[in-house]
């Protein structure tokens, strides 16, 4: 089965299991999603959601973040880790959006990548979830699972993104990445994947190799 057909097969399965999969970060505005994603670097989404529950009550607008006291913001986001750099990036991003982009989160990758603390993963999440622009978010789940399934042999996130862009339908890209997160948490765990109950093991290269290795060892 070629990669394009494999993706469509996986899509049919995922749409049944995770048809309502959405971003696991809580937000109400585009800028809140941007802040939450910056905070999510090296931190779980669950912890970020705990922090932003109070954070977004305290800082309600982009102006609030732009005018925030650095030391105070650092303490507000301390539980997410790397809080010094994250606080600087959030304030810097807020100021740049106000000064360079008319107070609106940019809707193109080139401008998003100019913002402090924003890489391709964050930019692509904003494009897909806020502006409905086809984009692939290559997080740890996407990297691990697409390699295991045999959808790519690349290991660098940017190369994985470009590789998958050729085979994942444009209109499905944002949802696919959210579904991978759900699938990664439910089934395809980093340390102990539940291959025995995996709904896509029939097209999984990792599963095929595991079965072959077990036969060789017996």
Q: Does the annotation mark 165 as catalytic?
A: no
What is the spatial distance between Cα 42 and Cα 24, in angstroms, rounded to a whole number?
A: 15
Q: Which of 6, 121, 143, 175 is catalytic?
A: 121
Within its chain, how far is the Cα of 70 from the centroid? 26
- DSSP state letter for 60: -
Tokens describing residue 26: 């809580």
Find where tokens 């897909």 sit.
128
Q: Which of 15, 45, 139, 186 is catalytic?
A: 139
Q: Does the annotation mark 121 as catalytic?
A: yes
* Sequence-distant (≥ 6) Cβ neighbours of residue 68 within 8 angstroms: 59, 87, 90, 91, 94
- Residues noted as catalytic: 121, 139
């Amino acid at each position: 089965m070629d990669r394009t057909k494999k993706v469509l097969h996986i899509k049919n399965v995922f749409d049944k299991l995770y048809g309502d999969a959405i971003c696991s970060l809580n937000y109400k505005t585009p800028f809140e999603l941007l802040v939450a994603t910056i905070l999510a670097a090296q931190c779980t989404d669950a912890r970020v959601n705990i922090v932003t529950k109070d954070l977004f009550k305290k800082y309600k607008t982009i102006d609030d973040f732009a005018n925030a006291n650095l030391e105070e913001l650092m303490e507000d986001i301390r539980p997410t880790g790397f809080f010094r750099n994250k606080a600087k990036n959030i304030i810097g991003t807020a100021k740049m959006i106000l000064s360079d982009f008319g107070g609106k989160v940019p809707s193109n990758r080139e401008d998003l990548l100019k913002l402090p603390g924003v890489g391709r993963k964050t930019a692509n999440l904003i494009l897909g979830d806020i502006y409905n622009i086809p984009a692939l978010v290559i997080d740890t789940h996407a990297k691990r699972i697409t390699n295991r399934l045999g959808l790519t042999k690349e290991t660098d996130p940017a190369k994985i993104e470009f590789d998958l862009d050729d085979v994942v339908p444009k209109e499905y890209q944002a949802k696919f990445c959210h579904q991978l997160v759900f699938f990664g948490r439910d089934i395809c765990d980093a340390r102990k994947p539940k291959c025995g109950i995996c709904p896509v093991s029939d097209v999984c290269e990792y599963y095929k190799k595991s079965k072959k290795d077990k036969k060789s060892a017996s």
